[in-house]
Structure 1
């Protein structure tokens, strides 16, 4: 009885070990041409920018962008943009 229990525990352990190997290999990072890039950093799709009024970080692609006095300024929303320009005409 104990031998069967130990065999069952060994089989369950092997199943989960093989499953975790497959999960790790399926989560590989791929380069531009589709080739795997092992050990390399993940590609960053967007950069977070900070709203100067409220301090919230937002993705640059979705932030409101304004060029003011030669500087790129990003806002989380219209209210923060309006508040900024009421203080900095």
Structure 2
């Protein structure tokens, strides 16, 4: 067998092994994502007060980071509170 043929076969085998490894990693990633999704779907829903506390904390953090103004946070929190409490 010539050097070119040996090189081609070696390169092809390495590429095939690499793509099998990539496929296995993708499959493992998909399984992990499905497990996370299932844990989220099956976890208990927090009550309205806990949800509003979380919204308030997130908006306060956004104001501290200058991502939104305090006025924007107040308006958005009021809007979400109406929706959350309307569901309860």
Question: Which TM-score band (shorter chain)?
Answer: 0.3 to 0.5
More helix by share: 2
Structure number with higher relative contact order (C-alpha < 8 Å, ≥ 6 residues apart): 2
User: What is the TM-score of this pair, normalised by structure 2?
Assistant: 0.36
More strand by share: 1
User: What is the TM-score of this pair, normalised by structure 1?
Assistant: 0.36
